[in-house]
Structure 1
Amino acid sequence: MLEDIRQERIKKRQNLQSAGFDPYPANVKRTATNAEIIKDWSKFVKKTTTTIVGRVFAVRGQGKLIFLDVKDESAGIQIVFKQDSGKNFELVRDNLDIGDFVQASGKCFVTKRGEKSIEAKELLIIIKALRPIPSEYYGVTDPETRQRQRYLELLINPEVKESFYKKATFWNTWRTIMLENGFLEVETPALEHIPGGADAEPFITHHNALDIEMYLRISLEISLKKLMVGGYERVFEIGRIFRNEGIDAEHLQDYTQIEFYWAYQNYEGLMSFIEKAYKRIIKATTGSLKTKLGDSTIDWARAWPRIDYFAFFKKETGLDLDTINEKELTAYAKSKEIDTSKHLGRGRLIDAIFKRIRPKLIQPCFLINQPIEVEPLAKRIAPDSNKVARFQILAGGTELGKGFAELNDPIDQMDRFKEQQKLREAGDTEAQRLDESFIEAMEYGMPPMAGFGISERLFSVLMNKPIRETVFFPTLRPKN
């Protein structure tokens, strides 16, 4: 059926070519967008000729008169094309299909039914579509088709299209805030010799010219911190991250993240800055400081409380992280049907248990003072403490950003890398690798600073959608 339609449209393409018309011209003409015409109708209705371009979404009538609904990115408008006043009427009428792009030139007028329209004196098919687009009425309902061929959903679902305008606003507002506060936007390599800055498995690739194995970055952190050693005091990057891990409603393997580092800023100051930034970004993106997530309403406008990680953990599990040992943590994890074979070491066990109790944190909060085992790159809150100056932003039961007082003691950092290395040797493929080039940079002196990172997961939460529905083309298996 589809192939029959395609072959029929190929014949129409040939008809246009045989009549001397290029169905894919390099140059087209447009004097106004549809939205401009509608907005300034009183001006355009006085013009002798206005030329628009767009895709045909509906064709009505036959014989000597046809009506077309033509949309460009800005809006839709009706085109009226008559046999007695339009050039090449029969050629266009007989070879036009829904989905084609047209260029229409004529005079603006209002129909008897009160619809703003253009009576075309000339109508050219400037793109001959060979496949039919989905019906606007029925839409694209198959989830895989929506993700694999997002362009079709964008064509016929204005709400989906609008959500991606909101995503642009989300990132543009982040960028504006950073620039307003004196941060320098930088770019760092996506290819690394040693992937670092996060607990995640990397994608591995091969550099042909150098004949070496390399990795796609799993974080922006290490390169940005090296720039801080180089004398910059405020840097940020909005860049792609690649993590070779599982697929679920909150995780992608290829996504955008912002990270920034701020010399001479402390943990508390960073939290104050971030709370204000989030509220501005959320209001700009959604138009409100109240959003839905599932059955919950999240009130971003309220003051965000600080919740101590150790106290929350003890309240929800009865476990005291100051005294409990790894064996006891393992026993508790097993009692909650957590697969302990995948959670090697104390830090992994704590994190796995925490993720079971995290859904109780619905309203925005800062979860502060976290165990040193779960964060090898943050500063201790005191020299002999087992807590680090790290916070997570929690809302809707999920993590939506984390910040740190960054570790800048190279000896302490090396010791923590060595502990991570032991976990790797024991089989933990996500434990962080020893990066001697980073230690070397730190030994030249890295300023005291605060750092923060958040991925596009925050945007998906604001849209109340699985994250795969908030990217244009999520990764899927090949169709064949």
Structure 2
Amino acid sequence: MSKLESIIKQRRAIRDRLIAEGRAPYPQDGRRSHTNAEALAEPEGASVTVGGRVRALREMGKIAFAKIEDETGMIQIVLRKGDTADFERLKDIEIGDFMRATGSRMVTKTGEQSVLAARFELLAKALRPLPDSYYGLANEEQRYRRRYLDLIMNKDVAEVFRKRSIIISSVRRTLERHGFLEVETPTLQPLYGGANARPFITHINAYDGMPMYLKISDELYLKRLLIGGFDKVYEIDKDFRNEGISYRHNPEFTMMECYAAYWDYTDIMRLVEEIYRDAAIAATGSDIVPYDLVTGRDEDGEPITQRVELNFRDPWERLTMKDGIRRHLAIDVDELSDAELAAELNRRRPAPGDAEPFNRGKAIAELFEFTEDHYIQPTFIIDFPRETTAFCKPHRDDPTLIERLEPYIARMEVGNGYTELNDPVLQRQFMMDERGDDAQPLDEDFIQAMEYGMPPAGGLGLGIDRMVMLLTNQSKIRDVLLFPTMKPLSPGESIDGDDDQADSG
């Protein structure tokens, strides 16, 4: 029997004995009068009832010291024979258990703020030991697959997710200050659209197995609401794309999409600046945010980072896609023929390109991708080739371009915005032009809705997960998702570390 198995057996025996004695190891009543932080704020002598997970326990004959933790922090419980009822039952308490203590606030001889327990109760018996506080979780796989342990053992991880909540709340406040209405659109959709992405497919049994798709975007439903008379709408929810997984991509991710009638992409850029500035201040207290930019890997595969100060004070730089290519690649794409442009792309690609028909607009956009490492400070890339999306209005000064923007921060594209196309005839034409193996099916209902008249509008999609990465100094999307998508373990594969790294308490 391994050490871990022995610990589990011992803890299970305590549970069973308590039940046999008529004492509940998991009582219904878990009420307390104070959080740990609130109890610490009380004066000496105040009566308090606190509860939390036991993180440390020292028994010294007729006195014992327990450290219990709740979300607000740690507090020390002093238990003394003669002062604490049922002192001998402390043997039933182990590290990892939840306990409650009722007593009076005191300060120990060493000056530690504590509670002298008049009585205590076991609230929940932990059958498995926590990881050893020195070794922690053995590997990254454990952290992601057992996030609950990660949150217990690594308080900086819990802080990331508190800040995530603060950031999302800030985004809502900024939008609502501008009069946006939060709405909900279907996650299950009979057609998928609004982005070029592969969907997850399911079906409805009640409709004879009719195929349905998890949304890849909110766009087409939100635009229907503009047509219906709402001026400003937004949604923060999950999108699903059945594509690659990387340090920046998860198949299930959080997006904020918003649409404003009578706006264009210049208004959208100002909104993005405001959203990021407000969120940065809410999460960090400043609109200048430190970020450890990954610049490479060492011989052991560990990241090499450079500390940068991301400046979210507006205005951000605006740079056209063609000017970005001109600045960083010293290429004027307007001077290249199709053959020269294709040759330039093939020279830069790590592998030969797909045997797809040449498309000049998409080739320019692909060439631009070789400049992305240059955009560290917040920058808007604007004025894309028309062929890059079917939903954006042609540029007012150049019909070969569209009024599209992508904000870049720390070498990451973090969003997408348009002056929205509202001509139903052009919309049909552009959607037909875009159709291919990976293009969304033609949504006739959406085009019909546009034929009733859609106001001029600006639209925006912002990746919430990447925003959280930037504002909490995280380089991997999995570190800002509580439960990231993980590949199933193979038969016989284990993520458990050494049994000797378990904290037996």
Q: TM-score, with normalisation over the residues of structure 1?
A: 0.93
Q: 2:349 aligns with which of 328, 331, 337?
A: 337
Q: State the partner residue of 2:322.
A: 310
Structure 1 window deviating more from structure 2 (297-306 vs 125-134): it is 297-306
Higher relative contact order, chain-length normalized (CA < 8 Å, sep 6+) = 2
Q: 2 CA distance for matches of 1:95 and 1:445?
A: 71
Q: 2 CA distance for matches of 1:462 and 1:275?
A: 14
Map Cα deviations across residues 331-389 of structure 1 (whole Å, 9 max, x no partner).
22221134411876525433333222111111111111111111221101138611101
Q: 2:278 aligns with which of 277, 280, 295?
A: 280
Contact 1:69 1:79 in 2 (8 A): yes
Contact 2:333 2:341 in 1 (8 A): no
Counterpart mapping for 1:445-460 below 5 A: 445-455=453-463, 456-460=465-469
Q: State the partner residue of 2:473.
A: 464
Q: SS where residue 487 of structure 2 aligns? A: coil
Contact 2:39 2:50 in 1 (8 A): no
Deviation, 1:148, is 0.6
Verify: 1:82 aligned to 2:80, yes or no: yes
Deviation, 1:227, is 0.9
Q: State the partner residue of 2:59.
A: 61
Amino acid at match of 2:431: F
Amino acid at match of 1:138: Y
Counterpart mapping for 1:183-222 below 5 A: 183-210=180-207, 211-222=209-220
Q: 1 CA distance for matches of 2:357 and 2:125?
A: 59
Q: SS where residue 194 of structure 2 aligns? A: coil
Q: 2 CA distance for matches of 1:219 and 1:323?
A: 36
Q: 1:359 aligns with which of 369, 373, 378?
A: 373
Q: 2 CA distance for matches of 1:337 and 1:365?
A: 25
Contact 2:324 2:371 in 1 (8 A): no
Q: 2:410 aligns with which of 396, 399, 419?
A: 396
Structure 1 window deviating more from structure 2 (312-321 vs 115-124): it is 312-321
Q: SS where residue 474 of structure 1 aligns? A: coil
Q: 2:425 aligns with which of 386, 411, 414?
A: 411
Contact 1:367 1:393 in 2 (8 A): yes
Q: SS where residue 8 of structure 1 aligns? A: helix
Verify: 1:158 aligned to 2:155, yes or no: yes
Q: State the partner residue of 1:46.
A: 45
Q: 2 CA distance for matches of 1:360 and 1:454?
A: 20
Amino acid at match of 1:137: Y
Q: 1 CA distance for matches of 2:137 and 2:394?
A: 52
In structure 2, the CA distance between the partners of 1:432 and 1:322, relative to structure 1 (3 Å rule), is farther
Q: State the partner residue of 2:401.
A: 387
Contact 1:136 1:157 in 2 (8 A): no
Map Cα deviations across residues 248-288 of structure 1 (whole Å, 9 max, x no partner).
11111101110000001122222223212221111112222
Deviation, 1:302, is 5.4
Q: 2 CA distance for matches of 1:215 and 1:292?
A: 37
Q: 2 CA distance for matches of 1:160 and 1:273?
A: 30
In structure 2, the CA distance between the partners of 1:476 and 1:285, relative to structure 1 (3 Å rule), is same
Q: SS where residue 341 of structure 1 aligns? A: coil
Q: 2 CA distance for matches of 1:271 and 1:461?
A: 18
Q: State the partner residue of 2:24.
A: 22
Q: 1 CA distance for matches of 2:355 and 2:167?
A: 35
Deviation, 1:298, is 2.0
Q: 1 CA distance for matches of 2:240 and 2:376?
A: 28
Amino acid at match of 2:409: A
Deviation, 1:393, is 0.8
Amino acid at match of 1:314: R
Q: 2:36 aligns with which of 34, 37, 40?
A: 34
Q: 2 CA distance for matches of 1:203 and 1:253?
A: 9
Contact 1:368 1:391 in 2 (8 A): yes
Q: 2:106 aligns with which of 81, 99, 109?
A: 109
Deviation, 1:461, is 2.1
Map Cα deviations across residues 401-445 of structure 1 (whole Å, 9 max, x no partner).
221100001111111111111x32xxxx2x333211111111111
Verify: 1:11 aligned to 2:13, yes or no: yes
Structure 1 window deviating more from structure 2 (82-91 vs 322-331): it is 322-331
Contact 1:343 1:349 in 2 (8 A): no
> What's the RMSD between the two structures over aligned residues?
1.8
Amino acid at match of 1:301: R
Q: State the partner residue of 1:94.
A: 91
Unaligned runs of 5+ in 1: none
Q: SS where residue 209 of structure 1 aligns? A: helix
Contact 1:343 1:352 in 2 (8 A): no
Q: 1 CA distance for matches of 2:54 and 2:449?
A: 59
Deviation, 1:63, is 3.2
Q: 2 CA distance for matches of 1:120 and 1:342?
A: 75
Amino acid at match of 2:287: L
Q: SS where residue 206 of structure 2 aligns? A: coil
Q: TM-score, with normalisation over the residues of structure 2?
A: 0.89
Q: SS where residue 269 of structure 2 aligns? A: helix
Contact 1:15 1:95 in 2 (8 A): no
Q: 1 CA distance for matches of 2:196 and 2:364?
A: 14
Amino acid at match of 1:300: F
Identity of aligned residues (%): 38
Q: SS where residue 98 of structure 1 aligns? A: coil
Q: SS where residue 61 of structure 1 aligns? A: strand
Deviation, 1:126, is 0.8
Map Cα deviations across residues 283-305 of structure 1 (whole Å, 9 max, x no partner).
11222222214113322225312
Q: 2:448 aligns with which of 440, 446, 460?
A: 440
Q: State the partner residue of 1:260.
A: 258
Q: State the partner residue of 1:244.
A: 242
In structure 2, the CA distance between the partners of 1:138 and 1:344, relative to structure 1 (3 Å rule), is farther
Structure 1 window deviating more from structure 2 (270-279 vs 189-198): it is 270-279
Contact 2:53 2:97 in 1 (8 A): yes
Q: 2 CA distance for matches of 1:166 and 1:342?
A: 45
Number of residue equivalences: 469
Q: SS where residue 310 of structure 2 aligns? A: strand
Q: 2 CA distance for matches of 1:316 and 1:80?
A: 65
